[in-house]
Each structure stands twice: as structure tokens, then as C-alpha cells.
Amino acid sequence: MLTKDHASWGYAASTGLGFTHEEIVQAHFDACAPHYQAALDQAGIRAGWHVLDAGCGSGAFLPWLADLVGPHGRVTAVDLAEENAALAAERMHRMRATCAFDVRQGDILDLPYQDGTFDAVWCANTTQYLDDDELLRALREMRRVVRPGGIVAVKDLDASLITARPADPFLFTDFFRNAARTPGYARQLLRTRDLHRALSAAGLVSVRQHTMLIEHHAPLHPAALRFYALACARIARQALDLGFAGDWEPFLDPDGEANPLRHPQSYISEGNTVAVGIVLPAADAGQESA
């Protein structure tokens, strides 16, 4: 899970994985909250269900999940970083969730739950940290802990839709294409629109997928400006350190007046993909194995 390139991305939690620290994770959530709400709405989670947030981070989705399952439902959450799990638990206590909930440290590659425990799994912005083999293993674990007929819903960033203006419109595209020539985080951020194939390979059925374009126009909302200025600065530093061509210098200073994101006509976009599959009902599973 931890590849050697993660140190260059920065904002690592105790796991060493880049862009998993609460400082940057919450900033991203604040910047994209309406779009994240729309992504969660696509999962199909129902009132009264027991839902697992697999890779919950500091728990930004948990209040929404609690609202979806209602007072008769239950929300369980797990995250690899112990400090993030603690923050997520604190968030649920602070909001005085009306549903039952449990938050713990754990690994999505080896979920600490029995078969068929949940009605659904929600996994957001987490599969980007897994290589191809780990992705399949994690999805099989999610399928295992969901009851027959339940759902596994995965949301993640599609880096191929990142662009910033006014700047070279292909600046970030070229960065990810070049960085992805070797295995690591950049390559995994370009894999997102293949999630539907991974869900099918993991044994889920009736898989559906939707990719949305998230756009921010000038004047950027303060939350969006904060996150994207910080994120672009980290990418710009990597690009320069790796010797990639392009006019990266204006992005290096998040607060600089020359930063394109502070231009009167600034624009930045990213993509988010949601893939949802159903755990094969028991009767169908029996027929398939016969």
C-alpha cells in the first residue's frame, strides 16, 4: 500500500500515505461538499441499514451516513490511521448521532468483521492508495462483509479530469501521465474509471458507474482556494523536482498573487467516480458455484 513516492506528495498521516492527513482531507471535503453529497446519494443507502464506512478518514461522511440510515440504522467505520479513527469517533460523539455507531482502527485489506455483517459498504477516496492486487483484495473483503443482496459503493478521484486555468490546460494532465510511467500513487489516481471492472472482478454484480466533473469558477470559494492552492503547490514541487516541463513556478506559492488560482478568471476542475455493485444473492451464488 505504501509506495516510495508517497513522501513527495506530503500531508501524510501516521500510515505514511500522502494526502491522508486531516489538514488536507478536511480541506478537500470542505471544497467539494455538495459534490460529495451528490456522490453519496448515488450509493442507494436506505433507512434502517447497517453501513460500513471503509477508510473513513476523520469521518467527514459519517454524519451524512447517520442521516441516511436514521435512528433505526447503524453506522460502523474503520480507518488505517489510528489518529483518524479517533477523530472520526470524536466527530460522531460531538454531533450526538441518533443512530448506533462504532469507529475503530483497522485495515480494509483485512476487515475485522464477520461475513454478511453489513447491508452496505461505502468507501470514499481510499482505493487510490491501493495497487491493483490490493484493490481486488479490498473489494473482495467488502463483498465478504456485506449480506447477499447488499451493496458495495466506491467513490474516488479521477485525476485525468484535473485542469487549472489560466494556465496550460494540459499542465496537470502531462504531470500525471509522466508520473504514472512508474507504479505508484499517480498511476492509481488515473485508474479510477476502471473501478467498474474491479468491482466485477471481485464478484459483485449489476455494477453501475458514474463519473462527474467537479468545477470551481472564479472567484473561488475560500475552501476551494485553500485546498487547491495547497494541492497544486505540492504537485508543482514534484514536477520541478522530477524535471517535468511546464510553467509550474506560479503554483509554488499558495498565497502568491501570481498563482493562477487567484486570477480574476481562475478555474479548476477534477473528476469523481462512483461505482456501485450488488453482492450476489445466496440463491444465485449457489447456482454460480454449481
pLDDT along the chain (290 residues), means of 10: 68 84 90 96 97 96 97 97 95 91 97 98 97 98 98 97 97 96 94 98 98 97 96 96 96 96 97 97 57
Q: Read off the pTM.
A: 0.93
274 forms beta bridges with 155, 210
- In sequence order, which residues have a C-beta less than 8 Å from that of residue 32 and are 6 or more positions away? 214, 224, 270, 272
What is the CA angle 102-44-146, rounded to 5? 50
Q: Give the span between the Cα atoms of 154 and 40, in whole angstroms.
A: 9
The amino acid occupying position 262 is R
Cell 494540459 maps to which residue? Answer: 170
Assign 3-class secondary structure to 18-71: CCCCHHHHHHHHHHHHHHHHHHHHCCCCCCCCEEEEECCCCCCCHHHHHHHHCC
- Burial class of residue 113, CB neighbours in 10 A (0-12, 13-18, 19+): middle
- In sequence order, which residues have a C-beta less than 8 Å from that of residue 94 and are 6 or more positions away? none
What was the pLDDT predicted at 290? 41
What was the pLDDT predicted at 13? 87
Phi-psi region of 11 (alpha: psi -120 to 50; beta: other; left: phi over 0): left
Q: On the CB side of 207, how many CA atoms lie within 13 Å of its CA? A: 21
Cell 451516513 maps to which residue? Answer: 65
Q: According to DSSP H, which parts of 148-246 are helical?
A: 171-179, 185-189, 195-201, 222-242
- In sequence order, which residues have a C-beta less than 8 Å from that of residue 238 and are 6 or more positions away? 8, 9, 175, 179
Residue 245 Cα distances to 172, 194, 240, 241, 256, angstroms: 11, 28, 8, 11, 21
Q: Does domain 6-158+183-216+271-279 have CATH number 3.40.50.1970?
A: no
Least Cα distance to 259 among 271, 249, 272, 250 occurs for 250
What was the pLDDT predicted at 281? 82
CB 62 within 8 A of CB 77: yes
CB 153 within 8 A of CB 274: yes
